[in-house]
Amino acid sequence: MKVLKEIQALQMISDYHRATFKTIGLVPTMGFLHEGHLALLEKAKQECDIVVVSIFVNPAQFLPHEDLDKYPRDFLRDYHLCNSSGVNYIFYPEPELMYPKDYFTFVNVEDITERLEGQFRPGHFKGVSTIVNKLINIVKPHKAYFGQKDAQQAVIIQKMVEDLNIDTEVIICNTIREENGLAKSSRNVYLSEEEKQEAAVIFEALTEGKKMITDYKITDTESVKNVVSNYINRKSDKIKLQYLSITDNVKMKELGNLKLYKGDIIISLAAYMGNTRLIDNVSFNYKYQ
């Protein structure tokens, strides 16, 4: 496994592997790896000859008041995890290399980015789509792997790749969870043990919501949302919902009555546990019957 910090070196390496008909898989991360990231690496390893992981805490996707400075970082630990996952290259650039002085170019997916996460983190997705675009130009991967944990991000990246005719297949992998259901996240280090236990309520509530739709055939999404938010409020006084939405998985538009709807449904939310902002979602296929 090699660690690369230079853009051109990696571009040349990618050209070489492409010239020898090797399949390249990219797993973009912000580091402080956990089992969610490792599942992406494993999938990439299964499907590709060469696996490149990028570890880059992308300043462009953090809002001024957010946790860029205190975002957890541990490169040595990540290095060993990548090494034992069979990663071939870690791309570990300095922020100044990715965004030099007088950096002016950003990629913005419209519409889908205005809702949900985009409403509460304006500009966040512009930073995400820009960095993913840059990483794809640097690594030139055949396939790139993302987690369903960040559902809206997954939808936006797929749209960007489609709209800009990017020659990379986007693969979305299931959310990996703690035993109690809490979605794994680098930001979970901000939580105390008790908070981690209490945060299990989030996935329980989302699962209740899904059950309302799939098992109890409730078609009024407002009622489903009430059940989900009441579940959270009843079981935890520490968790404060920021938004809760029931959308399709293409435009991520709020769905009203499900009677006429057929397709994938995403129930997603953001909630604060103290100062820590958590996001999670469940997604499933639906047809009214």
| Least distance to ligand AMP, CB of residue 52, Å | 14
Contacts of 168 (CB under 8 A, 6+ apart): 26, 136, 141, 142, 143, 144, 161
Q: Judging by beta carbons within 10 Å of its beta carbon (0-12, 13-18, 19+), is residue 38 exposed, middle or buried?
A: middle
CB of 47 to ligand AMP, least distance (A): 16
* Choice among 17, 34, 37, 142 that is catalytic: 37
Query: Whose Cβ is closer to ligand AMP: residue 141's or residue 147's?
Result: 147
Note if 37 is an active site residue: yes
Find the residue with minimal CB distance to ligand AMP. Answer: 147
Nearer to ligand AMP by Cβ, of 50 and 170: the residue is 170
Can you tell me the distance from the alpha carbon of 180 to that of 169, in angstroms, rounded to the nearest whole number?
32
Neighbouring C-beta atoms of residue 274, cutoff 10 Å: 12
Point out which residues bind ligand AMP (CB under 6 A): 29-30, 36-37, 39-40, 146-147, 149-150, 173, 175-176, 183-186
Helix (H) or strand (E) holding 3: strand 2-4
- CA 163 to chain centroid: 20
In 3D, which of 107, 113, 108 has the Cα closest to residue 252?
113
Q: From the CB of 257, what's the least distance to ligand AMP, in Å?
A: 30
Q: Which is nearer to ligand AMP, 44 or 212 (CB)?
A: 44
Question: Would you say 29 or 249 has its CB closer to ligand AMP?
Answer: 29
- For residue 237, the minimal CB distance to ligand AMP (Å) is 25
Distance of CA 111 to the CA centre of its chain: 18
Which residue has tokens 């991520």? 252
Annotated catalytic residues are 37
